[in-house]
Amino acid sequence: MQIQADLHTHTVASTHAYSTVTEMAAAAAEIGVRLLGITDHGPGSPDAPHLWHFHNYKVLPRRLNGVHMLYGVEANIMDEYGSLDMDEHELSFCEWVVASYHTACVRFERTPETVTQGYLRLCENPLVDVIGHPTTAMFPCDYEAVVRAIRDAGKLVEINESSLRWKPAALENAYRFYALCRDLQVPVVVNTDAHFAGLVGKTPLAEQVLREIGFPDALNYSLDADRIMAIAAEKRGIQFETD
What is the residue range of 168's domain?
Answer: 5-236
Going by C-alpha positions, the residue among 117, 160, 176 that lies closest to residue 141 is: 117
Establish if 65 belongs to a structural domain: yes
Half-sphere exposure of 19 (CA within 13 A, CB side): 20
Establish if 83 belongs to a structural domain: yes
Tell me, what's the pLDDT at 38? 98
Establish if 243 belongs to a structural domain: no
Tell me: pLDDT of 210 over 90. Answer: yes
pTM recorded for the entire structure: 0.98
For residues 14-34, give the mean pLDDT: 97
Res. 179 pLDDT band, cuts 50 70 90: very high
What CA–CA distance (Å, rounded) separates 178 from 187?
Answer: 10
Tell me, what's the pLDDT at 60? 98
Tell me, what's the pLDDT at 1? 84
pLDDT digits (tens, 9 = 90+) for 65-92: 999 999 999 999 999 999 999 999 999 9
The answer to whether 36 touches 222, Cβ cutoff 8 Å, is no
Establish if 242 belongs to a structural domain: no
Q: Structurally, how many domains does the chain consist of? A: 1
Radius of gyration of the chain from its Cα atoms, rounded to whole angstroms: 16
Tell me, what's the pLDDT at 193? 98
Tell me: pLDDT of 29 over 90. Answer: yes
pLDDT digits (tens, 9 = 90+) for 95-140: 999 999 999 999 999 999 999 999 999 999 999 999 999 999 999 9
pLDDT digits (tens, 9 = 90+) for 95-107: 999 999 999 999 9
Going by C-alpha positions, the residue among 222, 210, 206 that lies closest to residue 179 is: 210
What CA–CA distance (Å, rounded) separates 168 from 147?
Answer: 20
The average confidence (pLDDT) of the chain is 97
Neighbouring residues of 183: CB distance < 8 A, sequence distance ≥ 6 = none
The CATH number covering residue 150 comes to: 3.20.20.140
Tell me, what's the pLDDT at 243? 86
Query: How is 56-81 classified by DSSP, letter by letter?
Result: GGGGS-SEETTEEEEEEEEEEB-STT
